[in-house]
């Protein structure tokens, strides 16, 4: 027995959405169709009935006018016309509306039967003996056999009899009933067609949503963020798919960065931790060591603990920089550089100068930008071990080709040993340290933090050799960055 497929809840919801689309489309079409059909049928039926009544009323009125104008007798309305080439009064009644005519004698008896015979009531017999021509028994409806008729009786006057005229309307009602049935069938066909059209349309609309939901289910089930999201078209569903695909890409990149950070951090932490364990194990025998060895051991512990602390702080800062929630605000990068230079002078005793040019105001996160500038200055002070030349911080506002504001460029210039050409493209990598810098304290994360901050502010880091010796390391910040 083949295994049953388990439909994820989201797919069931989308299937319900498809059903909702179909039912809604069919319901709207049904409501509109029924309303239009109802109104159309009743309007048509009313017009037909009113038209029949109007025609019959005109026939009766013509008959009354005719008997008032001429002294007619029952024989004038006989069904056996002696002169077939000449239209008599009976022909004038029958031809326009196919009226059924029946003639009554003065006694009220039927003198010439209609086809079919019409019922004769007391009112009709009274009218037959009426003295005034054109006296009328009002219209009434009667059942004759299988048909229903509208009947009126008109007196010939002077007691000469009367003429009954009848109009059958059961045929018209049958026709209207058939029209009603056909209207209902047409409405059912339209509703069915609307339902099928709604199902087809809902299927087209939700098909991509089903695929998108399937991709989301795969991500939730497997945890793999590299799943390809199928995207076609340019409508809202396609935009949703592209946004979801970009979101997965960002999450995958973030996960990869986190994995690399953890791996690199674990690798870098092994060395100071191993050294600390070794020195701590020596503390058990500190009483056996000579005073010089003791001082060296304590100094090593202090140095290693400081390096470990710096490394942990750098790791925390780097990890926090990937999801920094510090609000953006308008700041002057030159003022930030002044604050960094002031603090660095106090700590190192070195001469640090700041020069600015152009517009240096940007939208940014103050703490992150201050950390980036501070890392550049600390890096310059650390590698310029001679300490004779001043460290310079240059903050420059650039312009675009059209004369608009471009970005702000921050450079830190030193007269240290410089950077080898092979190291220029790698100095911003995490934990990377040039060969001649591995003996110096540091975590190898300072310049990688600079890169993270620059990228987050719409800029990029840079490094190159300085004319006359030393290095120029810095970054750019987009003026309208977010």
Q: Which residues pair with 361 in a beta bridge?
A: 332
pLDDT digits (tens, 9 = 90+) for 231-241: 777 777 778 77
pLDDT digits (tens, 9 = 90+) for 273-283: 777 788 788 77
Nearest-angstrom CA–CA distance, 378 and 216: 46
CA 64 to chain centre: 73
Q: What are phi and psi of 7, to 5 degrees?
A: -85, 125
pLDDT digits (tens, 9 = 90+) for 227-270: 777 677 777 777 877 887 788 877 877 777 677 666 666 655 66
Q: Are 363 and 480 in contact (CB under 8 A)?
A: yes
Reduced to 3 states (helix: H, G, I; strand: E, B; else coil), residue 164 is: strand
Buried b (16+ CB within 10 A) or exposed e, 121-148: eeebbebbbbeebbbbbebeeeebeebb
Alpha-carbon dihedral sign for residues 128, 129, 131, 135: negative
Residue 143 has pLDDT above 70, yes or no: yes
Average pLDDT over residues 7-33: 68
Whole-prediction pTM: 0.45
Average pLDDT over residues 66-94: 72
Residue 382: which residues within 8 A CB-CB, separation 6 or more? 440, 441, 442
Work out the pLDDT band at 1, boundaries 50, 70, 90.
very low
């Amino acid at each position: 027995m083949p295994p049953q497929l388990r439909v994820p809840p989201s797919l069931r919801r989308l299937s319900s959405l498809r059903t909702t689309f179909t039912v809604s489309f069919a319901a709207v079409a049904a409501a509109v169709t029924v309303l239009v059909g109802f109104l159309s049928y009743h309007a048509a039926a009313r017009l037909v009935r009113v038209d029949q009544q109007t025609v019959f009323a005109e026939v009766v009125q013509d008959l009354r006018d005719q008997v008032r104008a001429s002294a007619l007798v029952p024989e004038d309305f006989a069904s056996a016309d002696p002169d077939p080439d000449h239209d008599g009064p009976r022909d004038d009644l029958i031809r326009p509306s196919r009226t059924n005519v029946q003639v009554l004698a003065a006694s009220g008896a039927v003198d010439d039967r209609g086809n079919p015979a019409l019922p004769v009531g007391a009112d009709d017999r009274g009218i037959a003996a009426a003295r005034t021509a054109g006296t009328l028994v009002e219209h009434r409806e009667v059942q004759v056999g299988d048909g229903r008729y509208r009947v009126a009786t008109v007196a010939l006057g002077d007691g000469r009899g009367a003429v009954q005229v009848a109009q059958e309307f059961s045929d018209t009602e049958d026709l209207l009933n058939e029209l009603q049935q056909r209207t209902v069938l047409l409405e059912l066909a339209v509703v069915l067609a609307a339902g099928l059209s709604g199902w087809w349309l809902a299927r087209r609309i939700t098909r991509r949503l089903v695929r998108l939901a399937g991709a989301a289910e795969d991500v939730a089930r497997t945890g793999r963020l590299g799943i390809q999201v199928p995207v076609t078209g340019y409508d809202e569903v396609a935009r949703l798919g592209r946004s979801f695909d970009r979101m997965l890409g960002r999450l995958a990149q973030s996960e990869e960065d986190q994995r690399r950070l953890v791996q690199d951090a674990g690798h870098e932490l092994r060395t100071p931790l191993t050294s600390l364990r070794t020195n701590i194990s020596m503390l058990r025998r500190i009483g056996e060591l000579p005073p010089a060895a003791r001082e060296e051991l304590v100094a090593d512990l202090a140095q290693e603990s400081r390096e470990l602390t710096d490394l942990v702080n750098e790791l925390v800062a780097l990890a926090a920089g990937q999801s920094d929630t510090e609000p953006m605000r308008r700041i002057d990068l030159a003022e930030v550089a002044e604050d960094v230079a002031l603090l660095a002078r106090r700590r190192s005793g070195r001469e640090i100068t700041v020069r600015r040019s152009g517009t240096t105001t940007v939208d940014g996160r103050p703490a992150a930008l201050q950390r980036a500038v501070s890392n550049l200055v600390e890096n310059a002070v650390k590698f310029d071990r001679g300490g004779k030349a001043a460290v310079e911080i240059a903050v420059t506002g650039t312009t675009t080709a059209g004369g608009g504001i471009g970005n702000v460029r921050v450079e830190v210039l030193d007269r240290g040993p410089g950077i080898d050409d092979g190291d220029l493209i790698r100095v911003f990598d995490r934990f990377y340290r040039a060969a001649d810098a591995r003996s110096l304290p540091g975590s190898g994360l300072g310049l990688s933090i600079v890169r993270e901050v620059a990228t987050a502010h719409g800029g990029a880091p840079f490094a190159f050799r300085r004319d006359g010796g030393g290095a120029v390391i810095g970054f750019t910040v987009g003026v309208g960055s977010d």
